[in-house]
Amino acid sequence: MMSYAEFRAREGFRHEEILAHAHGRLVADPPEGFASRLPLPPMLMLDRVVEITRRGNGGRIVGERDVHLDDWFFQCHFLGDPVQPGCLGVDAVWQLIGFYCTWAGAIGAGRALGCGEVEFSGQIRPHDGVVRYEVDIRRFADLPARGAAIAIGDASVLVDGTPIYAIRGARVGIFRDISYADYPIASERSRGGRIEGVGR
- What is the residue-wise DSSP string for 141-161? EEEGGGTEEEEEEEEEEEETT
Among the listed residues 15, 21, 68, 77, the single catalytic one is 77
78 burial type by CB count under 10 A (0-12 exposed, 13-18 middle, 19+ buried): exposed
Local confidence pLDDT in tens for the 200 residues of the chain: 999 999 999 999 999 999 999 999 999 999 999 999 999 999 999 999 999 999 999 999 999 999 999 999 999 999 999 999 999 999 999 999 999 999 999 999 999 999 999 999 999 999 999 999 999 999 999 998 888 999 999 999 999 999 999 999 999 999 999 999 999 999 999 999 988 767 65
Please give the domain boundaries of the chain with CATH numbers for all domains: 4-175 (3.10.129.10)
Question: What φ, ψ does residue 136 adopt, rounded to 5°?
Answer: -95, 115
Q: Which residues contact 21 (CB under 8 A, 6 or more apart)?
A: 13, 27, 36, 37, 38, 99
Is 77 marked active-site? yes
